[in-house]
Amino acid sequence: MRNAFVRRTSRLFLGCTLIAAGALPALAHAAWQPDKNVEIVVAGGPGGGTDQLGRLIQSIITTHKLLDVNTIVLNKGGGNGAEAFLDLKMNKGDPEKLVIGTNNIYLLPLVSKLGYQWQELTPIAAVAEDDFILWSYKDAPWKDAKGFYEAVKADPSNLRMGGSQSKDVDQTLTLLLNQTTNSKLVYIPFKSGSEAATQLAGKHIAANVNNPSESISQWRGDQVEPLCVFSKERMSYTEKVAGDKSWADVPTCHEQGLGIDQYRFPRTVFMPGEVTAEQRAFYVELMRKVTETPEFKAYVKQNALVPTFLEGEPLTAYIEKDTARVTPVFKEAGWLKN
């Protein structure tokens, strides 16, 4: 879905201690364990954010010896991840297959006729969330989000919002903003958040809604400015990342009066449908152990992600709430297919 998560993951492990490598034993006492190699299917192409997360999970499992079998990472990113999700549906009951995705696993069936619904699959966990930030270019005539939307209302024909792909999270957020601010900001889709960041730095668009990691290079290069973060509270990261500014210095969009308290998307792990409760529980515990490692915590911090772990009923409720929130937006935009 979002393919420009961060480009520096290969350096992450240099700063992580390996002393704990033997501290997390394999789940030896679980009621069920895989007896074949486990496939970690990435719902995205090589090098993107979902791919990097999938390979991080594989590395952690191997380093900490969390499984007695091997893991194999496969990329199936066709159709914004639909290839991976259809693979899950066709392999119902297979307990040695995981898919790493985002909210695309449950939102794609709303806008495309794909032959599956997320309820036919088995949710394991949401292991992190991505915040979204409203960014504008350096030295723009507006100094905050309120000023930006006043400019949009005054002259919507000359201002454009850029984002990663169409009918995806960036365009959905743009439509939500148009509704809550009573504006008509035009959305321009690019191939990735990285391209949207470059276009904004060059002043070819007025704004984008990139994740923190997608625009940090341009912020450090004094080419863009974060106007607000779509979160109920300011971000918790207080270390300086761009001059004398930290992520915690970015005001919330609610503070700026945009009317959207929070907008995030989850990093999800799913299994095929018709697996047993014991098999699901095994992978829930496996993912929990992965997120507790120093490597995973460092990854979350480096990318300014929201530390999150949801499974079971809380995860189902999250999916249902997120789906209910965007369905009217999709309907108004004419996207709904189901």
Q: Render pLDDT for 189-203 as a digit per residue (tens, 0 to 9).
A: 998 888 999 999 999
Whether 273 and 125 share a structural domain:
yes
Asked if residue 256 lies in contact with residue 280, where contact means CB atoms within 8 angstroms, the answer is no
Query: How many structural domains does the chain have?
Result: 2
Per-residue model confidence (pLDDT) at position 32:
94
Q: How far apart are CA 186 and CA 250, in angstroms?
A: 25
Q: Which of 249, 276, 299 is the last residue of a domain?
A: 249
Is 3 among the domain residues?
Answer: no
Least confident range of 25-34, 50-59, 154-163, 311-320: 25-34
Q: How far apart are CA 241 and CA 158, in angstroms?
A: 32
Whether 111 and 145 share a structural domain:
no
Neighbour tally for 68: CB within 10 Å: 11
Per-residue model confidence (pLDDT) at position 27:
62
pLDDT > 90 in the chain, percent: 79
**Averaged pLDDT, 305-312:** 98
pLDDT > 70 in the chain, percent: 91
Q: Which of 216, 249, 282 is the last residue of a domain?
A: 249
Average pLDDT, the chain: 91
For residue 232, pLDDT over 90 is answered with yes
Q: How far apart are CA 236 and CA 226, in angstroms?
A: 15
Q: How confident is the model at residue 130 (pLDDT cuts 50, 70, 90)?
A: very high
Whether 205 and 275 share a structural domain:
no
Is 65 among the domain residues?
Answer: yes
Is 255 among the domain residues?
Answer: no
Residue 46 DSSP SS3? coil
**DSSP 8-state class, residue 246:** E
Q: How far apart are CA 146 and CA 144, in angstroms?
A: 6
Least confident range of 6-20, 248-262, 281-295, 319-333: 6-20
Is 338 among the domain residues?
Answer: no
Least confident range of 6-20, 36-50, 72-86, 259-273: 6-20
Q: Which backbone phi and psi does 272 adopt, to 5 degrees?
A: -65, 165
Per-residue model confidence (pLDDT) at position 1:
47
Predicted model pTM: 0.87
Is 257 among the domain residues?
Answer: no
Among the listed residues 35, 22, 31, 29, the one whose alpha carbon sits nearest the alpha carbon of residue 68 = 35
Sign of the Cα pseudo-torsion (188, 194, 200, 204, in order): negative
For residue 241, pLDDT over 90 is answered with yes
Neighbour tally for 142: CB within 10 Å: 18
Q: Which backbone phi and psi does 203 adopt, to 5 degrees?
A: 65, 30
Is 256 among the domain residues?
Answer: no
Among the listed residues 36, 54, 55, 51, the one whose alpha carbon sits nearest the alpha carbon of residue 96 = 36
Q: How far apart are CA 295 and CA 202, in angstroms?
A: 35
Q: What is the CATH number of the domain that holds 152?
A: 3.40.190.10
Among the listed residues 210, 214, 212, 220, the one whose alpha carbon sits nearest the alpha carbon of residue 241 = 220
Is 2 among the domain residues?
Answer: no
Q: Which of 225, 249, 273 is the last residue of a domain?
A: 249
Neighbour tally for 79: CB within 10 Å: 15
For residue 45 the two structure tokens come to 């192409």
Is 235 among the domain residues?
Answer: yes
pLDDT digits (tens, 9 = 90+) for 11-37: 444 444 444 444 455 665 668 999 999
Give the domain range for residue 180.
Answer: 133-249
**Averaged pLDDT, 122-150:** 96
Q: How confident is the model at residue 246 (pLDDT cuts 50, 70, 90)?
A: very high
